[in-house]
């Protein structure tokens, strides 16, 4: 019987760059939550690996052989002898190259589905190892729960009991390449930058206090991304102008921007107004959990 899982969008509420390793990888500290907006992944277990990609944003996802779902499956198969694989069907709903970790979320969902099909416990170390081998954001997407991620994305803090945050996600349907955004920071390899991000136990678990703290933090990738894709400026301005917007910020390397609201009703009204004013944009009212 096929197994089904959701690949929830990853939202970087904060993203502080804390330096660059000598091998060129940037280090960061980021408070991550996950949205109700998601791709969908199905696995029909079998001996051979296959992947079909469909859905509204499938065309932008690239060749199936390069998809992170297949890469994650191969990474786990290399670590688990006799792993049952099968046919994956991925329904892409999230925009691609959008700062939502869509491909990483898809890969993490594939690992969860393979674990279920093979009777592997969620804390099997080989799942984390395969996630690390697949991509920087895949480990944090395995549990898809709010927490801090640090370093190159593989250092995960404890799960955080953050409140649900009503939100609107907006993408102007302009892809922003992550590598180019990081390159534009122009941080020399071997550079260390002192941390200014609150520690895990200093992150509020009450909504109003959390939003107030977030307002004092930032996304260091937002300035270079806005320079590359001026459409982000228009999205930020449009979200900030909606009634009830409490905080507006870009997620990840862009171009998706999130707005936080006091109530789900405020978020839904804002999303409706934005769709009406900007029919070419991808707009979703959701809850960040």
Instruction: Indicate whether 63 pLDDT > 80.
Output: no
Q: Are residues 241 and 116 in the same domain?
A: no
196 marked as part of a ligand binding site: no
- pTM (2 d.p.): 0.96
Marked catalytic residue, from 5, 10, 71, 92:
10
Tell whether 219 and 236 lie within a shared domain: yes
Q: Which of 5, 39, 106, 137 is catalytic?
A: 137
Residue 66 has pLDDT above 80, yes or no: no
Cis ω before 126 (30° cut-off from 0): no
Same domain for 11 and 152, yes or no, is: yes
Structure confidence by residue, pLDDT tens digits, 183-204: 999 999 999 999 999 999 999 9
Under a CB-based contact definition with an 8 Å cutoff, are residues 187 and 220 in contact? no
Residue 95 labeled ligand binder: yes
Residue 99, marked binder: yes
What is d(CA 285, CA 289) in angstroms, rounded to the nearest whole number?
A: 13
How many of the other CB atoms lie within 10 Å of CB of 45?
A: 16
Q: Determine the structural domain holding residue 251 and report its residue range.
A: 165-288
40 is in an annotated binding site: no
Where is the domain boundary, 132, 156, 180?
156
* Among 121, 156, 191, residue at a domain's last position: 156
10 tagged catalytic: yes
């Amino acid at each position: 019987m096929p197994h089904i899982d959701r690949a929830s969008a990853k939202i970087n509420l904060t993203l502080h760059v804390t330096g660059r390793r000598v091998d060129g990888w940037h280090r960061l500290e980021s408070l991550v939550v996950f949205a109700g907006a998601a791709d969908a992944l199905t696995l029909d277990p079998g001996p051979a690996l296959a992947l079909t990609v469909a859905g509204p944003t499938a065309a932008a996802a690239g060749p199936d052989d390069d998809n992170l779902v297949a890469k994650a499956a191969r990474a786990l198969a290399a670590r688990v002898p006799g792993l049952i694989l099968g046919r994956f069907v991925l329904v892409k709903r999230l925009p691609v190259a959008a700062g939502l970790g869509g491909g990483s979320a898809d890969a993490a969902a594939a690992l969860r589905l393979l674990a279920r099909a093979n009777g592997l416990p969620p804390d099997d170390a080989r799942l984390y190892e395969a996630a690390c081998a697949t991509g920087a954001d895949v480990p944090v997407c395995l549990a898809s729960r709010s927490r801090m991620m640090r370093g190159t994305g593989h250092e995960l803090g404890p799960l955080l009991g953050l409140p649900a945050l009503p939100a609107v996600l907006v993408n102007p349907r302009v892809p922003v390449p992550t590598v180019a955004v990081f390159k534009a920071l122009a941080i020399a390899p071997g550079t260390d930058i002192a941390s200014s991000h609150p520690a895990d136990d200093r992150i509020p678990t009450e909504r109003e206090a959390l939003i107030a703290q977030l307002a004092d933090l930032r996304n260091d990738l937002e300035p270079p991304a806005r320079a590359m894709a001026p459409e982000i400026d228009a999205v930020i301005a449009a979200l900030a102008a909606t009634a009830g917007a409490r905080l507006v910020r870009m997620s990840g390397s862009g171009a998706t921007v999130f707005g936080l609201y006091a109530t789900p009703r405020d978020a839904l009204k804002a999303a409706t107004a934005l769709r009406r004013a900007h029919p070419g944009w991808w707009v979703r009212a959701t809850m960040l959990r």
